[in-house]
Amino acid sequence: MKIRNIIYMAVGTVMTLTSCDDFLDKMPDNRTEINSIEKVTKLLVSAYPESNFNYLCEMASDNAMDNGATYTIGERQQQEAYLWEKITGTGNDSPRSFWNNTYIAIAAANQALASIDEMNGRETMKAQRGEALMCRAWGHFQLANVFCMAYAPETANTYLGLPYAVEPETTVKPEYTRGTLAELYANMEKDIEEGLPLIDDQIYTVPKYHFTRAAAYAFAARFYLYYQKWDKVIECANKVLGSNPGKVMRDWQAIYNMAADFTSRCNEYVSSKSAANLLLQTATSQMPFWLGPYNIGTRYGHNATYICNIETYRAGGLWGEYGKSNDLYMANSCWGIEQKICYSKYRQDMQYVDKVNGIGYPEVVTVMLSGPETLLCRAEAYVHLNQYDKAVEDINTWMQYNCRAKLNIALEDVENIYIDMDYSEDAEGKPMPASANNTPKKRLNPAGFTINDETQEALFHCILHMRRCETMQDGLRWQDIKRFGIEIAHNRAGQTPVYLQKDDPRKAFQLPDDVISAGLEANPR
């Protein structure tokens, strides 16, 4: 396909050129200008995507419901994502924007790698090479999570992958094919394995926005969790967590004790000074408007009564019921309205081009990798390996920092809560849309691994509940739905619900129209 056309489309639009071909014809080959360590290091700032897909993944997941036709739709793609339809929008938070910005970042990583080789710098620029390799893998990983199905060994050779760009383009119209998901994951693993030992924190002036060793290993832990290589998850997570995981946990008590000001608490959550934040990202996005506590786009959202109270922050779990002294800090730090409620996490900012006239673009700082999420990756891996005692240790660590009372639970407590808990399904065994009759527990139908018994299933449900709370607004619940083959239902005001099956092809978002038109194979429907 005309991949370079697609990669640079966003840039071409900004420059108001008549076509992408015109833009490419006029684009100089700037690689010869990147001729020093300093320039390569600076280039790698551009190797991190300035776009995210949190918003639409949240809408597609069970973290949202239809609040009724009397409420407004923020933008058409909000409804399209909720109904698992083809996304037609092209704005900041669209699949098109995410695709373009991510491949632009990958192109920057590839340019850095090429420049290092041109300068014979593999020895003198090991750290820069390591960062570039991690960025290239990260970009493709982000794309895979949105546009591909979940990885499983038995299906990876038949599911579609994505083009794995490995070098700067020197021709205007190079041809690409999607390949398989197995090939895509193998390519990512190769870059990760080569890049990890090269990372050196000393080259960074603003480390929390780069792949430090901690961030790189946290990424690797999540990657291997999705790749179903459980031993590797633990190996990489151990590099982040060390002998004292508490040092990279979020200090929820400190946030809870702050003045009740949404902006201040959000600033604390994304602070580069927080040891819990391993990788931060700045993105052009309106995500906080749609997911945050604002009276806008209220038709679909994280409803207080039927989702927050029943399935997420305020639902009963190991920590007991909401309102008790041992409940979650985040359950007591919620903001918003009935139709969409959240804890103080991400706030909408504006980057002004002309502040006097109020001209600018929406921006948000998000936490892409964190200590708590890495801990939960390890806890899940321990469960897969039947090391239940170690999984319970990690569960207790998470609860120590997330619960108002310092609880210490045993495996029996997990069994008592999550084995006895009802599934969120009707009498026919079909998943139920958000309602007062639901629970955090939903049927698990994973591909690639089996669930041994009710004890292991209970541990999975416990960790998935924690992950759902921990990663709210990050879009990662959508990945857990895919990985565990969870079937969900979305209500539709005045209509029958819509259902998403365990291996539903709509769990992979459709590629942007212009990408398909350029010749890349569409996702099946």
What whole-number distance in Å separates Cα of residue 183 and Cα of residue 264? 44
What does the DSSP 8-state code read for residue 403? B
The helices-and-strands tally (H runs, E runs) of the chain is 20, 9
pTM equals 0.93
Q: Give the contacts of 456 (CB within 8 A, at least 6 positions apart).
A: 383, 386, 388
Cβ atoms < 10 Å from Cβ of 389: 9
Closest C-alpha to 346, from 368, 325, 324, 321:
368
* C-alpha separations of 285 from 55, 291, 407 in Å: 9, 11, 38
Architecture in CATH of 37-518: Alpha Horseshoe (1.25)
Q: Give the contacts of 410 (CB within 8 A, at least 6 positions apart).
A: 392
Per-residue pLDDT of the chain (525 residues), as tens digits, is: 444 444 444 333 332 222 333 323 333 344 448 999 999 999 999 999 999 999 999 999 999 999 999 999 989 999 999 999 999 999 999 999 999 999 999 999 999 999 999 999 999 999 999 999 999 999 999 999 999 999 999 999 999 999 999 988 755 456 789 999 999 999 999 999 999 999 999 999 999 999 999 999 999 999 999 999 999 999 999 999 999 999 999 999 999 999 999 999 999 999 999 999 999 999 999 999 999 999 999 999 999 999 999 999 999 999 998 988 889 999 999 999 999 999 999 999 988 888 888 888 999 999 999 999 999 999 999 999 999 999 999 999 999 999 999 889 999 999 999 999 999 999 999 999 999 999 999 999 999 999 999 999 999 999 999 999 999 999 999 999 999 999 999 999 999 999 999 999 999 999 999 999 999 999 999
* C-alpha separations of 377 from 196, 314, 420 in Å: 18, 22, 24
Give the position of tokens 């006895």: 420
Closest C-alpha to 446, from 477, 487, 484, 474:
484
SS3 (DSSP) at 462: helix
SS3 (DSSP) at 503: coil
What whole-number distance in Å separates Cα of residue 300 and Cα of residue 340? 8
Cβ atoms < 10 Å from Cβ of 196: 20
Q: What is the DSSP string of 246-300?
A: GGGS--HHHHHTS-S-HHHHHHHHT-TT-TTEEEEEEEE--HHHHHSSSSSSTTE
* C-alpha separations of 431 from 168, 249, 282 in Å: 46, 34, 36
User: What pLDDT, on the 0 to 100 scale, is given for residue 285?
Assistant: 96
